Every structure is written in C-alpha cells, then in structure tokens.
Amino acid sequence: MNLTYFLFFLCIIVCTLIITYWAAKRSNTTNRFYIASGSLTGFQNGLAIAGDFISAASFLGVVGMIAINGYDGFLYSIGFLVSYLVVLFVVAEPVHRLGKYSLGDVICSRFPSDRMRWMLALGTFMISILYMIPQLVASGFLLRLLLDIDYSISVLVIGGLMTVYVVFGGMVATSWVQIVKTVVLMSGTFLLSLIVFSNFHWDLSALIKQAKKGSPLGDSFFIPGHLFGNPIEFFSLQLALVLGTAGLPHILLRLFTVRNTLEVRRSLISSTWIIGLFYLMTLILGLGTVALLGYHTLIANDPTGNLAAPLLAREVGGDFLLAFVSAIAFTTIVAVVAGLVISATTAFSHDIFHHILKKGKSTEREQLLAARWTAVGIGIISTLFALRLETINVTFLVSMTFVVAASSNFPVLVLTIYWKRFTQTGAITAMVSGLAASLAFVLLGPHIMNLDGGWIEGEAVIPLYNPGIIAIPIGFLGGYLGTIFSLKNSQSVQEYREFFIKSQTGMSSRRDDT
C-alpha cells in the first residue's frame, strides 16, 4: 500500500466525517433532514448541484473517451451541459413552487393520490439504485488499484460512508460534502490542466498537434464518427442526456434546498457555468493524455480509458499528483452516491411512510426514524448489488438511468405542469409506459443480449445501445392516450387555472390559500 495514497484518502474521510458530525447537530427536524430548511444560497446550491451531477463517469470516463475517440468523446459531455438549460427554462421554478420535499409533492399538488405517490416513489428508487451501482463498482476498482484493498472491502467502505453521511447528517451533510467535492474537483482539474499546458509552453496549437501524433486517429482526431458511427445512436444518447437530467430525482430535490425562485435561478446558472468549465478542462486533459502519455500506453494500462486522468497525473506529477487526483475521484463518487441515497430516502420516508402508510399523521420523530432506517436499507441494497457485479461492466447503467428518467419522470412532470387536459390516469400511464419501455429496450438491446459481449446468448432485438429515441416518445404517448381515454375525469378549467397560476407565480387565486 502506498503511504501517500493512503494519507490522501484518510484525509478526505476524516474531513467528510467532521462535516457529518457538524451537520448531525442541525438535522433534528424533517425540514432540515430532507432539504436543509432551504438554507443554502444560490451559489452554494449551484456548487452542490455540480457536485451531485459530476459523477465518476464524467471525471474518469469523459477524459478517457476524448483520449481514445477524439472529438466524439467531447460531444458526449455536451448533452450533460445542455440538459441544465431544459431544467432552468422548463421545470425548475414550477417544481420549487409546487413541491416541498419530493417529486411526489409536485405531481400530487395537481393529482393527489396514493397510487401516484407509489409510482413516483418506485421510479425514484429505481433510478437511484441504477445510478448508485456503477458509482460503487467504480469506487471498488479505484481503491483496489491504488490502495491494494480487496474489491469487496472497498465497496463496503464507500457504502458505509455514504450511509453514515445521510443517516446522521441528512441533506445538510450531503450538501456540504458535495460543495467541498466541487471545490476540490475544480481546483484539482484546473491544476492538472495548467501542468498539461505548461508542458507545451502554453501553446494550444502545440498541444493539438502532439495529440494528433499520439493518437492512431491522426488528422481525423477532431472529426466526428469514431465513437458514434450511427447518427441515430448519437442523437438518441443526446436526447436522453438532455431530457433525462430534468427527471433525475436527486437533481430535482436540490431545487427545494433554497428559499425562493430567484435562488433557484442562481443555483442553476452557477452550476451550468461550473459544469461547463469542468467539461472544457476535461477536453484539455483528454488531449494531454494522448499527447503526453500516448494512445497505446493508455490502452495497455486500461483498455476502457477510465484511468486516463490518474495515469496523466502520474505522468506529469508523479505519485503525489496521482494520489491527489485519485482522492478527487474518490470524493466525486462519495458525493454523488450520498445525493442519490438522500433522494431515495426522501421518496420512501416522506411519500410512502408519511403520506401513504401514516396518512399524513406521523410525528417528526417517526419521520426522521423512518428516513434514517430507509437510508440504511438503501445503502445495504446498493452495496450488495455492487458486490455481486464485480465481474460485469456496468457503465451502461449510467446512460440507462438517463433513459429511464427521460422516459418516465420527465413526461409526467412536463405534462402535469403545462397540459390542462392532462389527467391522473394519463400521469400513471405515462409513468408506467415510460418505465416499462426504457427497461425493456435496454434488456433487449446489445448491452444485455450477446451481440457484442453482452450477458445473454442471442442477438439483440433492439440494435440501439441508447434507446431513448424510442422510449421517450412512448412515455409521452402513454400520457396522451391515458388522458384521451379518461377525459371525463379531467379537471375543470378553473382548477387547472389555479394550479397553473401557482406553478408559475407561487400565488393562489383562492382566498383561503393567500
């Protein structure tokens, strides 16, 4: 075990546990536990959103994709960035005005129903678990590589840490772990980018020229088509990334952690700038990897390219910089997983336990106890999955998560807010059809079927690795057909008018609500 690596990791663990201890004293109410009482400023929340969103797939995966696939690798990150414009202009402010703790609150402000809360809680659980598994698997490999710790022990360490953050610190601890992660991530990425540039005497053209020489792609390095040979595949992936973010429960939950819509706008604008700058720096790191390390050296060390950033750090800064960058990757995983746990915890303890099982009559103490036990349960479930999937490449679960969110949560959210004829039956059919279609298409696609190293013998029924272009319209179509066949149950014009005014202004037209 390398002592430098161990000390960096130990420092991060100690710092995050100190934050959790501090937050635990302030998380004694449901309002503090779920949404930190809306106490974050717009900029703080923007940092937390960036920390919640930039996962290990972004920090480790995108750099490697750029190094291996050239321009297409950078195109992959464009969808992540553009997605926040959809969140900002389409759903952010209505969600903040209509909801309190969860997506279930938002939809049930128009369609109050236990069935609706069950469906939304189920969707939140599924999306959170799907997103958590690859993060935990990546953490297991990272710790095993750097500290020579057994994979199972590595996963148990991360799973235990994320559970501790949420159980004791709630949203307060989760938010500040994410804020610290963003500051460390941006600082480390900026430092590494400067070191890369300094190796080329601050000459961008020299970096680009050497990148072309170091890659077998040569002059076509900056020409698209190496990763996405099929334009439909590329468009489908981008569609899922752009629309899926607006349906991710752990991102929507962050819209409740500020006090008003002005701070919501500041949160999303600042997070968009932070995420944009980060992906710009990943472009430099990707070029630097292939220019300084070389394509063949990268492939020899890691054919997937996921270790491009750590290998580049070791090349330009030795063991110390490698330890620092690896610690950043570790912090990235911990912060994202903690955000996923808190969103799933809120869905169960608030939507299912408080509203459905207790009919809205549970005490603060009962809700907090349910939330903490739920966090323990989710931590155990996701950790067990990650332990069982050591030998399987689960990176596709990240893109699959976006497809599921874009096909189920996003259609329900948009149609609920903006379509006056939309009905509760339409909302349920949109959710069911979107979930079923996205899961079925992935199960029948080349990720699972044995078309290209899949899990099951047989040729893929759906040829697309990213089936968003089919699944997302099915979610909207399910909502439309469900509504058309249940128009007799639609709201009156006045009821929708009151709902829409509240979603757009926060004010109610009824006197008893003012």
Is pLDDT of 166 > 90? Answer: no
Q: What would the two tokens of residue 66 be?
A: 């750029």
Could you give the percent of the chain with pLDDT greater than 90? 40
DSSP 222-268: GSS-SS--SHHHHHHHHHHHHHHGGG-HHHHGGGGSSSSHHHHHHHH
Whether 192 maps to a domain, the answer reads yes
Domain residue limits at 248: 37-392
Q: How much is the average pLDDT of 472-493?
A: 91
pLDDT digits (tens, 9 = 90+) for 433-451: 999 999 898 888 777 765 4
- Residue type for position 362: S
Most confident listed range (377-386, 453-462, 468-477, 487-496): 468-477
Number of domains in the chain: 1
Whether 296 maps to a domain, the answer reads yes
pLDDT for 243: 93
**What's the CATH number where 309 sits?**
1.20.1730.10
Whether 16 maps to a domain, the answer reads no
Q: Which is it for the CA torsion 221, 223, 225, 227, positive or negative?
A: positive
Whether 28 maps to a domain, the answer reads no
- Residue type for position 282: T
User: Which residues fall within 8 angstroms of residue 419, CB to CB, at 6 or more apart?
Assistant: 483
pLDDT digits (tens, 9 = 90+) for 327-340: 888 788 888 888 88
pLDDT for 501: 93
Q: How much is the average pLDDT of 108-134?
A: 90
Q: Is the whole model's pTM more than 0.85, yes or no?
A: yes
Q: What is the mean pLDDT of the chain?
A: 86
Whether 444 maps to a domain, the answer reads no
Whether 117 maps to a domain, the answer reads yes
Whether 49 maps to a domain, the answer reads yes
Is pLDDT of 11 > 90? Answer: no
Task: Kindly tell me the burial class for residue 459, based on how many C-beta atoms sit within 10 Å of its own C-beta (0-12, 13-18, 19 or more).
Answer: exposed
Whether 95 maps to a domain, the answer reads yes
Band (pLDDT 50/70/90 cuts) for residue 456 is: low
